[in-house]
Structure 1
Amino acid sequence: MAAPFNFGQLKFLKALTEALFHDADMAISVDQVVANICDLFTKVGGTKLDEIRLSLTATELVLGGPFFTEDDVASRAEKLADRFQNSQIDLFQDMARLRGIVYACYYGHWNAGDQDANAANPVHAQIGFILPKFRQRGAGEVPIEPVTGREIDPTHILDAASLDDEYDVIVIGSGAGGGVAAYNVAAQGYKVLIVEAGPFYPSHDITHHELDMIANLYKHGALQTSTNRDFVVFQGRCVGGSSTINNGICLRVNEAGRTHPDALDVLAKWASIGAPVDAAAFHASYDAVQAKLGIAKIEPRSGRHNGPHLINGWASYAAASSDPRDTRAVADWFAKNFGPPNTPTACSYCGYCNSGCAYGRRMGVAQTYLPAACRDHGARILPETKADQIVWQTTVDGRREAEAVKLILPDGSKALVRARVGVIVAAGTIASSKLLDRSDISGTGYQVSLNVASPVVALMPDGVGGNAWDEDQMSSYVDCGDFLLESHFQPPMSMASLMPGWFDDHASRMKNFGRVHSAGILFPADRRGQVKDGKLEFRLDASDDLPVLRRAMATLTKVHFAAGAIECYPALARGQTITRGMDVDAFFAAAIREQDDVTLSSSHPHGGNAINENPQYGVVDPECRVHGTTNVLVTDASVFPSCIRVNAQWTTMAMAHYATGRGDPFG
């Protein structure tokens, strides 16, 4: 495969890397970091590679063109600080995000081979990180060993040669919505084809090589952004979708005892805007998914360090708070499909959830609904295939009926596959909107919502709290009413990309890998976005959203200090440090003037093809059928009429079950 960058771009990348590590010790060479960057973008390829090439050229020009590479390292670092780290210019702030890629490709370094080949990984040694295979587990703990028997049978995976010309139902997307829908319609006797744009990665093919897994399992290698580059949008692009690479968090909307009592009633909101959902039936769908996935509250031992940090910090903070919302807040352990807990097959809390479970212990869609649909009901999966367009015919009453789907197959050839009964679209908010738009469905991609996340990292006293990397990535949460706080910690590569700071500050924070704890905020940005020309446009509302963002970040920082933190590192573009005694509220009021000032992400895009009784205000009806059609359903999070406020996996699955599991949706 051709090298992803030309000579000039490689020279600039090397100069940039040297500057970003100015005054910092490096355990591997600059050339090796550049090689890691090349390896990442060779695997990602496509439009994202084109974007990074353009960004490199533009960034070099802003930094002085070829003169930048000729400067000494100190001068280059000074230019980076002046023009990017401390800039308020949106374009320069966008370019500054290259630092995260460079740091990720340093701390994501992997020697060729398996965990044994990386037992002495020099970068891991530098920050005191130990790979799962070499961690000591005592009596009563879950061994870090594979669980077998849950994976999809490889004989149920199709290629271009084994694809039939027609199926009863074609399901587009194999994630939370598609997997549940495919199982339900296959169980009703239909011959089902499941089309997935990403590759098939059973658990035994997943490794702890973060750069490799993220390049292969995420859309755009986890570098998908909004059009203004202010939001990173994480979405799985593999068999099982985001359920293969998420943290398995399962929260119902407005669950009594698990949700803040003052939180917006989501289903009531939907009804008020023309999208009534039968609440009893919807919660029955939650129950059905729970039984299939073994969803239950996690064992505290799986989040033994970073999890209690948030819960105990919140208890101390809330006890001193005069805000009545804080006294009514809910602090608890997450429920997950990582288990079931207290069984030999429970989560072994290796900390690598977001790059795929190498141990087959996650009860994701690819370990539950999909293998059952194939094994028990004859469904088949076609990975690495793009659904390009739905082909229509017109019925006698003037409605459109899906007749076939145009596919771009793994070998690059095209095929027209007939759908005798119907089509189910479940490719996610962005991809489903694009497909429906290409298929001449009007009104798609509007009013997209995000649960917006941003981290705050805390430095703890030496010897306090334990190694946060030796546990489940996300284990506890606090529902504060209008936002959530969620504990989280990442393996080295991912943690480096979200760790604030520049130059030796960033390196020093990473060297304290065993002393930092971390959590993030999650707040609803309701119907602020639009999928336009195939990409997500999204902007926070300055008067409604930014105050919530500032208050959530300030609250989390105070909780860290209440838990004993020495100093905190919020995910701000400049990488500032907050120390005890500072006016935290005043700090964030000054530091966050616009959304560009803080690193923002979301793993939960939803909306775009909303349910509404009136086709003028929604794409699908209350049964999730596309208005004006006879046989096309949408069963993913894109049908949510407004922001659901909490992590989206379980609600997406419940929506798919609600649409397909209460009877024959095509009957």
Structure 2
Amino acid sequence: MMRKPFNPFESAIWKRLAETMLVEPSKMAITPAQVVENLQRVFGNMEGDKPREMALSVIGTWLVLGGPIWHFAPRSFRIWRIERRLKYSRIDIFQDMARIRGIVYAGYYGHWIDQDDANISDAAAEDANRANPVFNAIGFTLPRHRSRAGTPDDPEIAEYTGNDLPYTVFVGEDAIPDSVEVVVIGSGAGGAVAASNLADQGYEVLVVEAGPYLPSARMTPNEAHMSSTLFKDGAIQTTHNRDIIVFQGRTVGGSTVVNNGICLRLAREGETHPDAHDVLAHWRSIGAPVDEQALEAAYCRVETRLGVHEIDRRLGRNNGTRLLAGWDAYAAGSHDPLDTRAVTGWFRKNWGQKHEPNACVSCGYCNTGCPYGRKKAMPESFLRHATLHAPRKARILAHAAVSHIGWSGRDDQGRRIASSVQVVLPDGRAKTIRVTKGVVVAAGTIASSNILSASGIEGTGRDISLNIACPVPALMQGPVNAWDEDQMATFVDRADFLIESHFQPPMSMASLVPGWFDEHFRRMLNYNRLASAGVLFPADRRGTIRKGKLAFELEQSDLAVLRRALATLTKVHFRGGAEEVYPALLHGETLSRGMSDAEIDRFFEEHIEEPDDVVLSSSHPHGGNGINSDPRKGVVDLDQRVHGVTNVLVTDASVMPSCIRVNAQLTTMAMADRVTCGKRVFG
């Protein structure tokens, strides 16, 4: 039976918000009551405190709007009150409440038919959703129903299960070992690479992952269900001040399961702007040198294992090509050296060549787990090798969180010795596992900092960096059907920021398209005419972990870069033929074709004064336990061992001592590989 986290009173508030935030109920494709049921399903599927937090939030919003007076008023009054109290407010807490609109839109555009039948096949589920009224209203076609006629080079949509992990590699809750040589905490980019290398060296490895394992057979295009299953906090985790949404995977494979597989190095000829910040030089200057040859060798090993290569260009034929064409037209008229020297191209990814059996079929669902088994994330690559092909096969304990590391005295140099880890199961039971060789911490920037802190390690969770993203959809003159391709295909590196093409399925796209009430609804009815890209800019060492949560404060210099980036992308859209541009501003303003470049620049200067004015997100938190030769300046040494500890290694993105400005996936893997490959890590 489905758990319903919202009581009748809270449900009534959600229903009234749906009747207000979208359009007149008679014009909706589903009823407001169905929107509420969809939200019950989404939050009922989440673990942790987020459902109760959201229930309190919706009550608080209701009270701010006027309680019963607002609730029983005509829609015109309800809209007017929302505009005054939320949309146009400069009060921080009210601006935060305004983001509840995105939850309502998720309940509408995440509608899915037959989502309670656990035994229904993926194909049958998609067939049931041929009649999905929301999809039909906006002109969206699910992957299995798309016609590939006339494109012989484009494979038909079909599921591939050849890379799924068998359940024999998993340890059940009642079979958790009392003792193991090495525990790897976390199964994402850093943890999986470390586990694979350690298993190759003959260590007995147990990988502990807080989230569940979902093979491709259990992944579907049901965005709402997959987001609430595979992401930390159902993909609505935020920084402490709620200014930035932080996306992190919570599943076997970590964030590699819910990302686009982008593989960017810190610097690479033909891929990196010649004037871009030299990350490795900066690391050397702050006491964190990394041998460039060793890192290069690690990059090569990882890329070989993953089969990294430039994506097949058919995967970006609609949205990806538009970004490059628009940029070329824009840069041709610019005299700014950062524009004229910019590097453009197609992403390199670990999707596999188009002739391989798991070749990408451009379904557009990368960010909610590939429902067709085409992605080569950690479960399909390094974890598969570690558990099935290594000389001593690793095992995985899924759906178990590590609370802390235990210690057993010190060695002759005074360094502490890790001797156990405590895992906590979903029902609250705790189990202590003795460790005879060592511990690898790779749970992600936030979780690793919390685990190390709970274990008595000082100085954790400091100097955290984010690559911050902000979307800019644009209305084109005719159909684009950008959803029928890889979500992210092309990029522009302008040195101070990157521009990346991207597009999302309906629910996710609804959260990116700005606007309120009927205007947002009309924009989504033009879903097939939308093109989209986003800016990505570095925010260096602005964050700390406070009471277990990421606190992150942007500075005015960050907002200056953001304004410049959004203005540039707006101009690129117009050069590419856009009629209107919708930057992700809280108020949902529209920029129209015919505006001069100076008017566009002035628009963003006037409309972005603080982070709450714009929707910001990050999928790349890094830092918090940075490498440094000086234990006073970093948590781990240059080999990523915790200072003052003999047998604890950290191999996730938290070891990066400053912002790396690009997608962190490949560098996290390479950093993990360089300290675990070909060497006996533990005695």
2:555 counterpart residue number: 541
Alignment equivalent of 2:486, drawn from 472, 480, 498:
472
CA distance in 1 between partners of 2:451 and 2:47 (Å): 21
TM-score for the superposition, normalised by structure 1: 0.98
More deviation in 371-380 or 25-34?
371-380
1:629 is aligned to 2:631: no
**Alpha-carbon deviation of 1:61?**
1.0
Find out whether 1:508 has 2:508 as its counterpart: no
Q: Which residue number in structure 2 is paired with residue 322 of structure 1? A: 335
Distance in 2, matches of 1:146 and 1:41, equals 28
C-alpha displacement of 1:410: 4.3
Paired position in structure 1 for 2:12: 11
Check the 8 A contact 2:326/2:575 in 1, yes or no. Answer: yes
Specify which of 67, 85, 109 is matched with residue 87 of structure 2.
85
Specify the alignment match of 2:168 in structure 1: 155
- Out of 509, 519, 543, the residue aligned to residue 529 of structure 1 is 543
- Say whether the 8 Å CA contact 1:36–1:105 is kept in structure 2: yes
Letter of the 1:55 counterpart:
S
Shift in Å at residue 344 of structure 1? 4.2
Task: Give the corresponding residue for 1:245.
Answer: 258
Q: Report how far residue 68 of structure 1 moved.
A: 1.4
1:544-598 Cα distance to aligned partner (Å, 9 max, x none): 2111000000000000001000010000000000012331000000000011100
Match of 2:121 in 1: none
Corresponding residue for 2:192?
179
Correspondence for 2:233 among 215, 220, 244? 220
Displacement of 1:654 in angstroms is 0.5
Aligned residues: 664
Matched, 1:386 2:410: no
Residue-by-residue CA offset, 1:122-165 (whole Å, 9 max, x unaligned): 00000000000000113111221122321112111111212111
Matches of 1:357 and 1:589, distance apart in 2:
39
Are 1:28 and 2:43 counterparts?
Answer: no
State the 1:248 CA deviation.
0.6
CA contact (8 A) 1:606 1:640 kept: yes
Hey, what does 1:105 align to over in structure 2? 107
**1:133 maps to 2:134:** no
Write the letter of the residue equivalent to 2:634: G
Q: Aligned-pair distance for 1:73?
A: 1.3
Displacement of 1:336 in angstroms is 0.4
Following superposition, the deviation at residue 300 of structure 1 comes to 0.8
TM-aligned CA deviation for residue 515 of structure 1: 0.3
Give the aligned residue type for 1:327: T
Q: 4+ residue runs of structure 1 moved beyond 6 angstroms? A: none
Shift of 1:188: 0.3
The answer to whether the 8 Å contact 2:323/2:572 transfers is: yes
Who is 2:603 aligned against?
A: 587
Q: Does 404-413 or 556-565 show the bigger shift?
A: 404-413
**Superposed CA offset, 1:621-659 (max 9, x none):** 000000000000000000000000000110111111012
8 Å CA contact retained: 1:296, 1:341: no
Task: Give the partner amino acid of 1:439.
Answer: S
Name the aligned partner's letter for residue 99 of structure 2. Answer: R
Report whether the alignment pairs 1:420 with 2:422. no
1:255 aligns with 2:268: yes
Q: Deviations over 1:483-508 (max 9, x none)?
A: 00000000000001111000111011
Letter in 2 for 1:533: K
Aligned counterpart in structure 2 of residue 122 of structure 1, from 130, 133, 138: 133
Q: Is this contact kept in 2: 1:160–1:410, CA < 8 A?
A: no
Give CA deviations for 1:420-460 in whole Å, capped at 9, x if unaligned. Answer: 10000000000000000000000000000000000001000
**How much has 1:413 moved relative to structure 2?**
1.6
What's the offset of the Cα at 1:397? 2.5
Q: Give 1:462 deviation, angstroms.
A: 1.9
Distance apart, 1:662 and its partner CA? 3.6
| C-alpha distance in structure 1 between counterparts of 2:594 and 2:192, whole Å | 50
Q: Return the letter of the residue paired with 2:29.
A: A
Report the secondary structure of 1:228's partner residue.
Answer: coil
Contact 2:3 2:41 in 1 (8 A): no
Aligned equivalents of 1:461, 1:362: Cα separation in 2 = 33
Change (3 A) 1:322 1:367: same
Matches within 5 A, 1:446-461: 446-461=462-477
Q: Percent identical across equivalent pairs?
A: 55
Whether 1:188 and 2:201 are equivalent positions in the alignment is yes
State the alpha-carbon separation in 2 of the partners of residues 159 and 67 from structure 1. Answer: 53
With structure 2 as the length reference, what TM-score do the two structures score? 0.96
Separation in 2 of the partners of 1:115 and 1:194? Answer: 34
Residues 274, 341 of structure 2: 8 Å contact kept: yes
From 343, 346, 350, the equivalent of 2:359 is: 346
**Which residue in the other structure is 2:119 paired with?**
none
Q: Partner letter of residue 314 of structure 1?
A: W
**What CA distance in whole angstroms lies between the structure 2 residues aligned with 1:264 and 1:499?**
31
Aligned counterpart for 2:666 among listed residues 637, 647, 650: 650
- Distance in 2, Cα, partners of 1:495 & 1:256: 33
**Per the alignment, in what secondary structure is the counterpart of residue 581 of structure 2?**
strand
Conservation of the 8 A alpha-carbon contact between 1:159 and 1:410: no
Task: Report the more deviating stretch, 8-17 or 122-131.
Answer: 8-17
CA shift at 1:288, angstroms?
A: 0.6
Q: Distance in 1 between matches of 2:467 and 2:94?
A: 26
CA contact (8 A) 1:11 1:69 kept: no
- Between the aligned partners of 1:177 and 1:426, the Cα distance in structure 2 is 6
Distance in 2, matches of 1:343 and 1:178, equals 26
Equivalent in the alignment of 1:203:
216
Aligned residue for 1:41, secondary structure, equals helix
Contiguous gaps of at least 5 residues in structure 2? 116-124
* In 1: Cα distance, 2:354 partner to 2:457 partner: 44
Whole-angstrom CA distance in 1 between matches of 2:448 and 2:662 = 21
The answer to whether the 8 A contact 2:312-2:353 is kept is no
Question: 1:202, 1:118 → 2: CA distance?
Answer: 22
Contact 2:294–2:674, Cα closer than 8 Å, also in 1: yes
User: Which amino acid letter does the alignment assign opposite residue 545 of structure 1?
Assistant: D
1:191-218 CA distance string (max 9 Å, x none): 0000000001011110010000000000
Task: Indicate whether 1:337 and 2:353 are aligned.
Answer: no
Alpha-carbon separation, structure 1, partners of 2:654 and 2:68: 46
5+ long unaligned stretches in structure 1: none
- Out of 626-635 and 131-140, give the one that drifted further: 131-140
Note the 1:555-570 alignment, pairs <5 A.
555-570=568-583
Q: Residues of 2 paired with 1:347 and 1:403: CA distance?
A: 43
Does 1:462 pair with 2:446?
Answer: no
- How much has 1:340 moved relative to structure 2? 2.5
| Aligned 8 A contact 1:127 1:513 in 2 | yes
Contact 1:387 1:408 in 2 (8 A): yes
Deviates more, 1:214-223 or 1:80-89: 80-89
